[in-house]
Structure 1
Amino acid sequence: MQHMTDVTHLEEQIAHLTRVVEEMSDVVARQETALALATRRIEMLMEREAGRELEAGGSVPLADQKPPHW
């Protein structure tokens, strides 16, 4: 009967791990969506600021300039 107990225990572990993986997959999917939205918002803000810099008389927006060490 020990063999059946071992198999049952392994089945329970597999069920638990399967549930955890599914939950983690959902979390990762939500994070991917949130990150894509945040990235787009940052891009929009950078474009907006670059436009303001140009309107203020700047030559090349700072966002488009390479750092001095390049």
Structure 2
Amino acid sequence: MSDPRLTAIEEALAHQAATIEDLSELVRRQGDEIDRLTRRVTLLMMRAAEAEHDAGGTVPLADQKPPHW
């Protein structure tokens, strides 16, 4: 016969292991999404800087201070 306490501990451990796997997958997907978004922001900043330069602006948009400064 198995001890009910041991069974409860084993069940809890199995649930925790499944939760850890789910969270690890979520963190991996979020990391991929952050990488993708970082690349997009970089590309957009480059495009904005090029547009600013082509328009004859004096300071690239990325180097300008926010208006509240």
Task: Classify the TM-score, shorter chain.
Answer: 0.7 to 0.9
Deviation at 1:24, TM superposition (A): 0.7
Q: Which residue of 2 aligns with 1:16?
A: 15
Q: What are the Cα deviations for residues 20-53 of structure 1, in whole angstroms up to 9, with x where unaligned?
A: 1111100110110011110110111011111100
Structure 1 CA distance for aligned equivalents of residues 11 and 49 of structure 2: 57
Report matched runs for 1:37-56 at 5 Å. 37-56=36-55
**Any runs of at least 4 consecutive aligned residues in structure 1 with deviations exceeding 4 A, and if so which?**
none
Q: Give % identity.
A: 44
Structure 1 CA distance for aligned equivalents of residues 61 and 47 of structure 2: 12
Q: Which residue of 1 aligns with 2:63?
A: 64
Q: Which blocks of at least 5 consecutive residues in structure 1 are unaligned?
A: none
Deviation at 1:66, TM superposition (A): 2.8
Structure 2 CA distance for aligned equivalents of residues 43 and 7 of structure 1: 53
TM-score of the two chains, using structure 1 as the length reference: 0.87
| The 10-residue stretch of structure 1 (17-26 or 58-67) with the greater mean CA deviation from structure 2 | 58-67
Backbone CA RMSD of aligned residues: 1.5
Q: Which residue of 2 aligns with 1:28?
A: 27
